[in-house]
């Protein structure tokens, strides 16, 4: 990767180099037009975010435009609900397709005309072999295929059959239209690929108008050509399809359907991310199997889940930039994505106090019924955001893990006899604790030093190692807080582990992280009661949180943890993995 002269400019990569090369040659007179072409058969996931950032980002930086195109040529699995969710997700990521919103199904008439043109040029034929015969005659990687007995049908017969396919005269599967290329090609994709099939299925946009539908590999190049796409960027699995992409558009340009230069297909490596799965098929399994609570479950790697979790569009853009694009498949560690989210959240999230696992602390020498405000900064890096008052009083909530009756070595927080600072408040000395019949600590007792209040001259006389956060018990807001964690406990869900024969038969569901969600009743500083859906905060010492956009009510927000402050996975992966 070369270093860009302008630090704000995107780093160079092989796709940008290809675009530059085309521009230098004056291929499209400098025009750059890309597209993001999801199939509306599921929700978008983090992998799509990479593709969206790439396609829209490329167009943006060359002053071009990126289309949002629904590749809805397969009637069976597609749905309006998905279309809406995809529109929302791309918009949420902050991209704009202007007037360029398209549906491949709007092109069915043109696609049909293209197919007829191929027939008329002797470049397509109707095959009436059974699906099994067609498969058997396709050959293998080492053996050539066998010509279909229908391959030499005359143009008129082909045209007649194809028109009758369209008219609904034949049963599903009775015939298919195939491109006539080369049954001996070393590239199996060029062995007379099917381009149209009979399929009696209602389409979410065209209804029952059609009973024949184009194959994806036929439809996609045509969609690109219709929209005057310059660079058609797709994932590596389509590399072997590129010769057909080029053959088809070339044949259709010859027939006068499209002008040259034709769109150029460029492949890049799809995103693989550890500790999750990025395949719609598996995501459907997780949702339908009830392993998560729907498509927008914050643990799912969907963009609607990410939004609900509190991840940011800026974090995704930073991530896309940081991982770049490559020509070879590889895995990206989840910690890279999480760190990108942290970086952006650190900048934007105001600080607040929350006690997630509350334990009562009583300051025995603080007057009963009395209280006072303490000043806490809203953002340590942004003094211009000012400070806010948080109430202090005799009874406080502290984090259970901040107290130990018998401290272990190196524990500097609260234990009998020890002195700590209550952040933004007073220094206290622990005097003891009370336990229930099970031996569980129920209350901790301490005395405060009246001249130790933060911000007053006397405060500096106290040297303490512990600095605890707390919430005043008299007016804390008790709220549900969901502590989300990685969905899978293993970096490569369902994959075989070296030296572990049992792992050979693992299903990805076996690797689910049983601790991926923990719900607590937390005690929060009172002002958080007024937080609105999608407000973000850093809860000091805990991480980043967002107000759930669905389950919160006015005056009763519920919080989702977006991400802890530090990565606890990378260092102890061995014990958890």
CA distance 242 to 325: 19
Closest approach of Cβ 37 to ligand ATP, in Å? 5
State yes or no: residue 389 binds ligand ATP (CB under 6 A). Answer: no
State yes or no: residue 540 binds ligand ATP (CB under 6 A). Answer: no
Q: How many residues make contact with ligand ATP (CB under 6 A)?
A: 14
Residue among 13, 51, 230, 418 that touches ligand ATP (CB under 6 A): 51
Of the pair 124, 215, the CB lying nearest ligand ATP is at 215
Contact (Cβ atoms closer than 8 angstroms) between residue 370 and residue 454: no
CA distance 460 to 145: 85
Q: Which stretch binds ligand ATP (CB under 6 A): 48-56, 115-123, 128-136, 143-151?
A: 48-56
Among all residues, which ones are annotated catalytic?
Answer: 39, 270, 280
Q: Tokens standing for 297?
A: 């479950």
In DSSP terms, 370 is beta-bridged to none
Q: Looking at residues 260 to 299 of the shown chain, list those that interact with ligand ATP (rule: CB under 6 A).
A: 270-271, 278-280
Query: DSSP secondary structure string, 333-357?
Result: -HHHHHHHHHHHHHHHPPEE-EESS
CA distance 529 to 319: 33
Closest approach of Cβ 50 to ligand ATP, in Å? 4
State yes or no: residue 37 binds ligand ATP (CB under 6 A). Answer: yes
State yes or no: residue 38 binds ligand ATP (CB under 6 A). Answer: yes
Closest approach of Cβ 282 to ligand ATP, in Å? 8
Q: Which residue is nearest to ligand ATP (CB)?
A: 47
State yes or no: residue 151 binds ligand ATP (CB under 6 A). Answer: no
Contact (Cβ atoms closer than 8 angstroms) between residue 230 and residue 33: yes
Of the pair 279, 454, the CB lying nearest ligand ATP is at 279
3-class DSSP state of 418: coil
For 173: left if phi > 0, alpha if psi spans -120 to 50, otherwise beta; the answer is left
State yes or no: residue 235 binds ligand ATP (CB under 6 A). Answer: yes
Closest approach of Cβ 235 to ligand ATP, in Å? 4
Closest approach of Cβ 271 to ligand ATP, in Å? 4
Residue 281 neighbours by CB distance under 10 Å: 8
Residue 23 neighbours by CB distance under 10 Å: 16
State yes or no: residue 431 binds ligand ATP (CB under 6 A). Answer: no
Q: Which stretch binds ligand ATP (CB under 6 A): 42-50, 438-446, 463-471, 566-574?
A: 42-50
Find where tokens 């015939």 sit: 175
3-class DSSP state of 164: helix
Helices (H) and strands (E) in the chain, counts: 13, 27
First to last CA, the chain: 33
Residue among 59, 222, 234, 303 that touches ligand ATP (CB under 6 A): 234
| Burial (CB count within 10 angstroms: exposed 0-12, middle 13-18, buried 19+), residue 455 | exposed
State yes or no: residue 50 binds ligand ATP (CB under 6 A). Answer: yes
Of the pair 191, 280, the CB lying nearest ligand ATP is at 280
Q: Which stretch binds ligand ATP (CB under 6 A): 47-55, 109-117, 174-182, 286-294?
A: 47-55
Q: Give the number of residues written for the chain.
A: 577
Of the pair 19, 345, the CB lying nearest ligand ATP is at 19
Cis peptide before 290 (omega within 30 of 0): no
State yes or no: residue 47 binds ligand ATP (CB under 6 A). Answer: yes
- The binding site for ligand ATP (CB under 6 A) comprises 37-39, 47-48, 50-51, 234-235, 270-271, 278-280
């Amino acid at each position: 990767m070369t270093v860009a002269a302008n630090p704000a400019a995107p780093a160079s990569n092989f796709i940008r180099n290809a675009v530059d090369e085309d521009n230098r040659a004056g291929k499209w007179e400098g025009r750059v037009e890309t597209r993001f072409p999801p199939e509306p058969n599921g929700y978008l996931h983090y992998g799509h975010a990479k593709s969206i950032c790439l396609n829209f980002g490329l167009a943006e930086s060359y002053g071009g435009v990126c289309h949002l195109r629904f590749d809805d040529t397969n009637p069976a699995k597609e749905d309006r609900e998905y279309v809406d969710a995809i529109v929302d997700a791309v918009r949420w990521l902050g991209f704009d397709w202007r007037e360029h919103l398209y549906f491949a199904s709007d092109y069915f008439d043109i696609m049909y005309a293209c197919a007829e043109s191929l027939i008329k040029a002797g470049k397509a034929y109707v095959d009436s072999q059974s699906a099994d015969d067609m498969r058997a005659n396709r050959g293998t990687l080492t053996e050539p295929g066998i010509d279909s007995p229908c391959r030499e049908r005359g143009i008129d017969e082909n045209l007649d059959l194809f028109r009758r396919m369209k008219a609904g005269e034949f049963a599903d599967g009775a015939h298919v239209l195939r491109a006539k290329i080369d049954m001996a090609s070393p590239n199996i994709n060029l062995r007379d690929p099917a381009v149209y099939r009979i399929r009696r299925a209602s389409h979410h946009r065209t209804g029952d108008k059609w009973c024949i539908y184009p194959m994806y590999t036929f439809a996609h190049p045509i969609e690109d050509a219709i929209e005057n796409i310059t660079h058609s960027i797709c994932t590596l699995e389509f590399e072997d399809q590129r010769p057909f992409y080029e053959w088809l558009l070339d044949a259709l340009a010859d027939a006068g359907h499209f002008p040259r230069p034709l769109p150029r297909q460029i492949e890049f490596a799809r995103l693989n991310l550890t500790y999750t799965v990025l395949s719609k098929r598996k995501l459907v399994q997780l949702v339908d199997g009830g392993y998560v609570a729907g498509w927008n479950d914050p643990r799912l790697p969907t963009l609607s889940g990410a939004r609900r979790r509190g991840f940011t569009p800026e974090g995704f853009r930073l991530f896309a930039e940081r991982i770049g694009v490559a020509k070879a498949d590889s895995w990206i560690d989840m910690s890279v994505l999480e760190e990108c989210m942290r970086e952006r959240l650190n900048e934007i999230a105001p600080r607040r106090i929350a006690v997630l696992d509350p334990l009562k602390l009583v300051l025995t020498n603080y007057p009963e019924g009395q209280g006072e405000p303490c000043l806490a900064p809203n953002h340590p890096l942004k003094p211009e955001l000012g400070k806010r008052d948080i109430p202090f009083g005799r009874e406080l909530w502290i984090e259970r893990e901040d107290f130990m009756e018998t401290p272990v070595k190196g524990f500097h927080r609260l234990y009998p006899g020890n002195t700590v600072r209550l952040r933004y408040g007073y220094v206290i000395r622990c005097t003891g604790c009370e336990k229930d019949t099970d031996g569980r600590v129920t209350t901790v007792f301490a005395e405060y030093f009246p001249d130790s209040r933060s911000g007053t001259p006397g405060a500096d006389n106290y040297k303490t190692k512990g600095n605890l956060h707390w919430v005043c018990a008299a007016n804390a807001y008790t709220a549900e807080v969901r502590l989300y964690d990685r969905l899978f406990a293993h970096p490569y869900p369902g994959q075989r582990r070296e030296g572990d024969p049992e792992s050979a038969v693992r299903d990805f569901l076996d690797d689910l992280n049983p601790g991926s969600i923990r719900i607590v009743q937390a005690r929060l500083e009172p002002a958080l009661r007024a937080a609105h859906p999608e407000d973000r905060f850093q809860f000091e010492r805990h991480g980043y949180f967002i107000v759930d956009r669905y389950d919160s009510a006015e005056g009763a927000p519920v919080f989702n943890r977006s991400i802890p402050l530090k990565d606890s996975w990378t260092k102890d992966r061995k014990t958890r993995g």
